Amino acid sequence: MSGKPATPAARLKPATLAAQAAGAIDPASGGVVPAIHPATTFVRDTDYVPTVDGNVYARSHAPNARLVEDLLAQLEGAQEALVFPSGMAAVAAVFRTLPAGAVVLVQSQIYWGTTAWIRDFCTRRDVRLVEVDSSDTDAFAQACAQERPALAWVETPSNPWLRITDLAACAEAVHAAGGLLVADMTTATPVLTQALSFGADLVMHSATKGLNGHSDVLAGALACADANSAIWAAIRTDRDTAGAVLGPFEAWLLLRGMRTLPLRMERMSANALRLAHQLSDHPQVEAVLYPGLTDHPGHSLAARQMQGGYGPLLSFVVKGGAQAALRATSRLQLFHRATSLGGVESLVEHRHTIEPHTGIPEGLLRVSVGIEAVEDLWDDLAQALGQ
Ligand SMILES: *Cc1c(COP(=O)(O)O)cnc(C)c1O
C-alpha cells in the first residue's frame, strides 16, 4: 500500500525510472502520483500485528521517504538508500559511526560546510583527520597506505574547485588499506556518475541541490553498495534512534523534483559547457574551471567517469581580483546572487567573501548553471563582464 512498484524495474533507463518515480502511484485512489502521508503512528490489527508494511511509528517508518529511497537506490544501482533532513545530517550520520581513535582521510578543499563540520567533529571525538588532495591519486594512495584510514571521503567534481577524483583508483587504495570509500556526489548526481559502480562503498548527496533541483527542499541522502555491511547497519540504526528523518511533505516534493532529474542534468550540463567555452574566450576572464573543457586537468578522467555531461557547476576567475569579480556580480540581472547549486535557476557566488582563508582566488565566481535559454545566460554574463 505504500505505492511501491510490484516488480523492481532495474533494467529501465534513468529517465524512465525518474519520470515514473520508480512506479510510485497512490494505490488507494488510483492517482498517478503518490499521496502525502503525514501520519506519525500506524494501527495494528486485532492480533497486534502492524496492518501495512510493518509500519509502527514515523521515526522508523515513513512512506513518503521510502518512495524517494526506492527511486534513488535504483538510480544509483544501490542496494539501499536513506534520506535525511539535510545533506549535513547525512554527512553526520556517516561520521557518527566512527569509533574514537579512528583515522579518516578527507579530501582537501571540498564543500566548505563539510570540511568545517568534519574538522570540529574529529577534534571533539578524538578521530584523527588527515586532509589530502584526492584528485592527486598518488598522494591519496600514499596517504591510505601510511594512515590506514577507516574511511576516506571524496567529492567529485569538487565544490568550488571542480577537481575530479578517480573513484575506482581511490576505492582500490582505501580498500587495500582496510577502509571504506564515501563519495559526495551532490554535483554529479547519479545521472552523470554512479559512484558505487566505480567501487565506492557509500554515496552521499545534498538532495537540496540537483536531486530536488527547485531550491525548495532541504534534504540529504546516502546510498550503499552493501546493505548488510556494518557501517550501513549502524547508519540505519542511528537514523531510526537519533531521528534525523525527512518529513513527508519534503519527501513528497523531493520525489516530484526527481522526476525531471535526468532532463535537468542534461540541459544544465549542455548550458554549462557552452558558457565554459564562451567564458574561456572572454578577455576579462583569467581562467575557467570546468571538467568539460579539454584543457581541464581532470578532463579525460571526467570523460570516463561521467556520462551525458559534466554537471551544472563551473567556476571562473575574473581579471582584476575581488573588486572586479564583485562588480561583475552586481551587474548580473538573470543570475541570482545566492549560494547553493543544482536548481533550475542560475546562481552566482563570490566564494572568497564566504571563505576568505581557504585559498580561493579573490576573483573566482562560482556559477550554478540552470535550465534557462543559454543565449540569455550568456548575454547576461557578457554584459556583466563588459565586452
Ligand atoms: C550543499 C552541500 C552539502 C550540504 O548539504 P545541505 O543540504 O546544505 O545540508 C554537502 N556537500 C555538497 C557538495 C554540497 O553542495
Per-residue pLDDT, averaged over 217-225, amounts to 98
Residue nearest to atom 5 of ligand 1 (CA): 87
The set of long-range contacts for 53-56, using a CB threshold of 8 Å and a minimum separation of 24, is 53/1, 53/2
Pocket test for ligand 1, best of 111, 155, 163, 351 (most atoms within 8 A of CB): 111
Residue ranges of domains in the chain: 12-258, 262-385
User: How far, in Å, is the centroid of ligand 1 from the Cα of 240?
Assistant: 22
Laid out side by side, the sheet with 103-107 consists of 80-84, 220-224, 202-206, 180-184, 151-155, 103-107, 128-132
Query: Strands (DSSP E) along 134-212, which ranges?
Result: 151-155, 180-184, 202-206
The CA–CA distances, whole Å, from 345 to 172, 336, 371 equal: 38, 8, 7
Please report where in the chains the cell 563551473 appears, as a residue: 314
Known catalytic membership, residue 111? yes
Tell me the pLDDT tens digit for each residue of 159-182.
Answer: 999 999 999 999 999 999 999 999
Specify the fold of 262-385. Aspartate Aminotransferase, domain 1 (3.90.1150)
| b/e code 269-304 from CB counts within 10 Å (16+ = b) | bbbbbbbbebbeebebbeebbbbbbeebebbebbee
Phi and psi (nearest 5°) for 103? -115, 135
Known catalytic membership, residue 209? yes
Q: Which of 184, 259, 290, 351 is catalytic?
A: 184
Q: Helices 167-176 and 137-147: crossing angle, nearest 10°?
A: 20
The finding on whether 179 has its CB within 6 A of some atom of ligand 1 is no
Which grid cell is 306?
561521467
Whole-number pLDDT of residue 70: 98
Give the residue with greater pLDDT, 354 vs 143.
143
Tell me the pLDDT tens digit for each residue of 100-154.
Answer: 999 999 999 999 999 999 999 999 999 999 999 999 999 999 999 999 999 999 9
User: How far, in Å, is the centroid of ligand 1 from the Cα of 326?
Assistant: 24
The finding on whether 87 has its CB within 6 A of some atom of ligand 1 is yes
Per-residue pLDDT, averaged over 37-50, amounts to 97
The answer to whether the beta carbons of residues 212 and 258 sit under 8 Å apart is: yes
User: Residue 34 pLDDT more than 80?
Assistant: yes
Q: Which of 4, 26, 59, 226 is catalytic?
A: 59
Phi and psi (nearest 5°) for 277? -65, -45
Closest atom of ligand 1 to 340 CA is: 1
Per-residue pLDDT, averaged over 12-29, amounts to 96
User: How far, in Å, is the centroid of ligand 1 from the Cα of 46?
Assistant: 45
Q: Which of 66, 209, 259, 366 is catalytic?
A: 209
Residue nearest to atom 7 of ligand 1 (CA): 87
User: How far, in Å, is the centroid of ligand 1 from the Cα of 244?
Assistant: 16
Per-residue pLDDT, averaged over 65-84, amounts to 98
12-258 is a CATH 3.40.640.10 domain: yes
Residue nearest to atom 1 of ligand 1 (CA): 206
The CA–CA distances, whole Å, from 90 to 96, 143, 198 equal: 10, 25, 21
The finding on whether 156 has its CB within 6 A of some atom of ligand 1 is no
User: How far, in Å, is the centroid of ligand 1 from the Cα of 160?
Assistant: 12
Instruction: Give the β-pairing of 103-107 and 151-155.
Output: parallel
Residue nearest to atom 2 of ligand 1 (CA): 206
Question: In which band, very low, low, confident or very high, does the pLDDT at 208 lie, cut at 50, 70 and 90?
Answer: very high
The CA–CA distances, whole Å, from 223 to 76, 77, 231 equal: 7, 9, 12
Which grid cell is 150?
577507516
User: Residue 5 pLDDT more than 80?
Assistant: no
Whole-number pLDDT of residue 1: 41
Q: Which of 66, 70, 111, 310 is catalytic?
A: 111
Residue 96, Cβ neighbours under 10 Å: how many?
14
Give residue 50's identity as a one-letter amino acid code.
P
